[in-house]
Amino acid sequence: MRAGRVEQIAGPMEIYDRPATRFVAGFVGETNFIEGRLHRNGAAALITEFGRIPCEPGNLPDGAQATLSVRPERIGVARDGEGIAGVVENFVFRGETTLLRVRVASNIVLRAAASHGERHAIGDSVRLSFPPGAGALLAEER
Protein backbone atom coordinates (compact mmCIF):
# COMPACT_ATOMS: atom_id res chain seq x y z
CA MET A 1 0.00 0.00 0.00
CA ARG A 2 1.09 3.53 -0.73
CA ALA A 3 -1.04 6.59 -0.05
CA GLY A 4 -4.11 4.38 0.31
CA ARG A 5 -3.55 2.55 -3.00
CA VAL A 6 -2.56 -1.07 -3.50
CA GLU A 7 0.78 -1.24 -5.33
CA GLN A 8 1.01 -5.03 -5.67
CA ILE A 9 -0.79 -8.15 -4.47
CA ALA A 10 1.40 -11.26 -4.45
CA GLY A 11 3.28 -13.65 -2.19
CA PRO A 12 6.43 -12.46 -0.40
CA MET A 13 8.87 -14.16 -2.80
CA GLU A 14 7.19 -12.72 -5.89
CA ILE A 15 7.09 -9.24 -4.35
CA TYR A 16 10.80 -9.47 -3.51
CA ASP A 17 11.91 -11.04 -6.82
CA ARG A 18 9.43 -9.38 -9.20
CA PRO A 19 8.23 -6.07 -7.72
CA ALA A 20 5.62 -4.30 -9.84
CA THR A 21 6.82 -0.75 -9.13
CA ARG A 22 9.86 1.16 -7.96
CA PHE A 23 8.09 1.88 -4.66
CA VAL A 24 7.51 -1.84 -3.98
CA ALA A 25 11.10 -2.73 -4.94
CA GLY A 26 12.54 -0.19 -2.52
CA PHE A 27 10.07 -0.97 0.24
CA VAL A 28 10.84 -4.69 0.53
CA GLY A 29 14.62 -4.54 0.58
CA GLU A 30 17.83 -3.12 -0.76
CA THR A 31 18.02 -2.86 -4.54
CA ASN A 32 19.82 -1.14 -7.39
CA PHE A 33 17.71 0.96 -9.75
CA ILE A 34 19.33 0.91 -13.16
CA GLU A 35 18.07 3.18 -15.94
CA GLY A 36 18.42 2.35 -19.60
CA ARG A 37 16.79 1.60 -22.93
CA LEU A 38 15.30 -1.83 -23.69
CA HIS A 39 16.80 -3.72 -26.61
CA ARG A 40 14.62 -6.68 -27.68
CA ASN A 41 16.46 -7.90 -30.79
CA GLY A 42 17.99 -11.29 -29.95
CA ALA A 43 18.41 -11.75 -26.20
CA ALA A 44 16.59 -8.89 -24.44
CA ALA A 45 18.84 -6.49 -22.57
CA LEU A 46 18.79 -3.09 -20.92
CA ILE A 47 21.35 -0.83 -22.57
CA THR A 48 22.86 1.47 -19.94
CA GLU A 49 25.65 4.04 -20.00
CA PHE A 50 27.98 1.45 -18.42
CA GLY A 51 27.02 -1.69 -20.34
CA ARG A 52 24.41 -4.21 -21.40
CA ILE A 53 22.37 -6.09 -18.78
CA PRO A 54 20.27 -9.13 -19.78
CA CYS A 55 16.64 -8.85 -18.69
CA GLU A 56 13.16 -10.22 -19.23
CA PRO A 57 11.38 -7.55 -21.32
CA GLY A 58 7.80 -8.25 -20.27
CA ASN A 59 5.44 -6.33 -22.54
CA LEU A 60 7.67 -3.27 -23.03
CA PRO A 61 8.43 -2.40 -26.67
CA ASP A 62 11.89 -2.31 -28.19
CA GLY A 63 13.57 1.01 -27.44
CA ALA A 64 11.45 1.81 -24.36
CA GLN A 65 13.08 3.71 -21.50
CA ALA A 66 13.02 1.37 -18.50
CA THR A 67 14.21 0.89 -14.94
CA LEU A 68 15.63 -2.44 -13.81
CA SER A 69 15.59 -3.37 -10.13
CA VAL A 70 18.46 -5.73 -9.26
CA ARG A 71 19.08 -6.95 -5.70
CA PRO A 72 22.76 -6.86 -4.61
CA GLU A 73 22.83 -10.63 -4.03
CA ARG A 74 21.79 -11.25 -7.67
CA ILE A 75 24.91 -9.54 -9.07
CA GLY A 76 27.99 -11.71 -9.57
CA VAL A 77 31.34 -10.29 -8.47
CA ALA A 78 34.69 -11.46 -9.89
CA ARG A 79 38.20 -10.06 -10.05
CA ASP A 80 38.48 -10.70 -13.79
CA GLY A 81 36.62 -12.22 -16.71
CA GLU A 82 33.52 -10.96 -18.44
CA GLY A 83 31.10 -8.45 -17.08
CA ILE A 84 30.88 -4.77 -16.35
CA ALA A 85 34.09 -3.20 -15.07
CA GLY A 86 34.00 -1.33 -11.78
CA VAL A 87 36.08 -0.20 -8.83
CA VAL A 88 35.25 -0.99 -5.19
CA GLU A 89 34.55 2.25 -3.33
CA ASN A 90 33.47 0.82 -0.01
CA PHE A 91 32.39 -2.44 1.62
CA VAL A 92 30.51 -3.65 4.67
CA PHE A 93 31.02 -7.12 6.15
CA ARG A 94 27.64 -8.78 6.78
CA GLY A 95 28.55 -12.27 7.94
CA GLU A 96 27.83 -14.60 5.02
CA THR A 97 28.31 -11.81 2.50
CA THR A 98 30.15 -8.53 2.08
CA LEU A 99 28.15 -5.69 0.58
CA LEU A 100 30.30 -3.83 -1.94
CA ARG A 101 29.73 -0.35 -3.36
CA VAL A 102 31.15 -0.50 -6.89
CA ARG A 103 31.54 2.54 -9.16
CA VAL A 104 30.74 1.47 -12.72
CA ALA A 105 30.50 4.93 -14.31
CA SER A 106 31.41 8.45 -13.27
CA ASN A 107 28.03 9.01 -11.62
CA ILE A 108 26.78 5.45 -11.02
CA VAL A 109 27.49 3.22 -8.02
CA LEU A 110 25.97 -0.25 -7.72
CA ARG A 111 25.72 -2.43 -4.63
CA ALA A 112 26.73 -6.07 -5.02
CA ALA A 113 27.08 -8.85 -2.46
CA ALA A 114 30.28 -10.88 -2.54
CA SER A 115 30.33 -14.30 -0.90
CA HIS A 116 31.97 -14.85 2.49
CA GLY A 117 35.26 -16.25 1.12
CA GLU A 118 35.92 -13.39 -1.29
CA ARG A 119 38.11 -10.58 0.00
CA HIS A 120 37.89 -7.12 -1.57
CA ALA A 121 39.54 -3.84 -0.70
CA ILE A 122 38.80 -0.24 -1.58
CA GLY A 123 40.27 0.48 -5.00
CA ASP A 124 40.09 -3.13 -6.26
CA SER A 125 39.02 -3.59 -9.86
CA VAL A 126 36.12 -6.02 -10.21
CA ARG A 127 33.76 -7.31 -12.89
CA LEU A 128 30.02 -7.42 -12.23
CA SER A 129 27.83 -9.96 -14.00
CA PHE A 130 24.06 -10.11 -14.28
CA PRO A 131 22.63 -13.60 -14.86
CA PRO A 132 19.49 -13.73 -17.02
CA GLY A 133 16.46 -12.93 -14.86
CA ALA A 134 18.60 -11.27 -12.15
CA GLY A 135 16.43 -8.17 -12.12
CA ALA A 136 12.87 -7.03 -12.71
CA LEU A 137 11.82 -4.35 -15.19
CA LEU A 138 9.55 -2.02 -13.31
CA ALA A 139 6.18 -0.65 -14.31
CA GLU A 140 5.84 3.11 -14.57
CA GLU A 141 4.83 4.81 -11.34
CA ARG A 142 1.21 5.85 -11.17
- Residue 17 main-chain phi, psi, to 5 deg: -80, -30
For the sheet with 135-137, list strands across it.
Answer: 51-54, 45-48, 32-39, 65-70, 135-137
In a domain, 7, yes or no: no
In a domain, 103, yes or no: yes
In a domain, 6, yes or no: no
- What total number of domains does the chain contain? 1
In a domain, 4, yes or no: no
Residues 6 or more apart in contact with residue 77 via CB below 8 angstroms: 100, 102, 112, 113, 114, 118, 120, 126, 127, 128, 129
Is 60 exceeded by the pLDDT of residue 142?
A: no
In a domain, 28, yes or no: yes
In a domain, 127, yes or no: yes
Helix (H) or strand (E) holding 76: strand 76-78
pLDDT in tens, 8-26: 999 999 999 999 999 999 9
pLDDT in tens, 48-99: 999 999 999 988 999 999 999 999 999 999 999 999 999 999 999 998 899 9
In a domain, 85, yes or no: yes
Q: Provide the CATH number for the domain around residue 28.
A: 2.40.50.140
Domain of 68, in residue numbers: 12-137
- The percent of residues above 70 in pLDDT, for the chain, comes to 97
In a domain, 2, yes or no: no
Q: Are 34 and 46 in contact (CB under 8 A)?
A: yes
